Amino acid sequence: MKDILPGLDRVRDRFLTMLEDRKTNIASHAIAAWEADCVEDICAHLAAAQSILHQIAGSAGSLGFAALGDSARHCENEIISHLQSECAALPECPEQLILNMDMFLSSCNDILRTPA
């Protein structure tokens, strides 16, 4: 792949740099959704986290981080399912969504700690 795409390393480095910020933002939205006590806030924070997860899911696989991309996609789909369900009208954030995002963030940390 590197032979075909000489600039891929640069894109990969930028992805990792952005992953640090994206990871922090996802964590902030996850905590805010968990702590919020009104439906609108919970849904807004989950939707914001889902949007970031969507971006990671779209590019991670093309850059050699297929497992991370799959994990992001799983989290994203779970959030979408929740937001489209009747449960989204309840003023509580499902624990499983937070656990999923926690596992995803751990995967991010593993990748970011791995020497290039």
Partner 1 sequence: MQILAVDDDPIILELLEQFVLAIGGHEVTTAESGMAALELLDGDESGSFDCFLLDIQMPGMDGIELTRKIRDIARFADTPILMLTAMTDKRYIDAAFAAGATDYVTKPFEVSELKARITLVEGLVEARQSRTQKILATQSAPSEGNTIELYEPISIYDVDNVIEYMAMENYVSQLSRNALFGSTAFAFTIRGIETFYAEMTAFEFFSLVSDVAEVISDTLEGRQFLMSYAGNGTYVCITESGWRPESRKVMDAVNLSLATTELFDNKGNRVEPRVSAGDAVRLIWKAGSSVMEAVSTAHASAEAAAAEHEYNKRDFWHLGQTA
Looking at beta carbons only, is 1 or 95 nearer to partner 1? 1
What residues contact 98, with CB distance under 8 A and at least 6 apart? 30, 33, 34
Q: Which of residues 39-68 bind partner 1 (CB under 8 A)?
A: 51, 54-55, 57-63, 66
Q: Which of residues 69-98 bind partner 1 (CB under 8 A)?
A: 69, 73
Q: Considering the complex, what minimum distance in angstroms separates the CB of residue 91 from partner 1? A: 26
- For residues 94 and 43, the answer to whether their CB atoms sit within 8 Å is no
What residues contact 18, with CB distance under 8 A and at least 6 apart? none
What residues contact 19, with CB distance under 8 A and at least 6 apart? 56, 108, 111, 112
Q: Considering the complex, what minimum distance in angstroms separates the CB of residue 95 from partner 1? A: 25
Q: Considering the complex, what minimum distance in angstroms separates the CB of residue 43 from partner 1? A: 16
Closest CA to 78 of 107, 49, 56: 49
Residues making contact with partner 1 (CB under 8 A): 1, 4-5, 7-8, 10-11, 14-15, 18, 51, 54-55, 57-63, 66, 69, 73
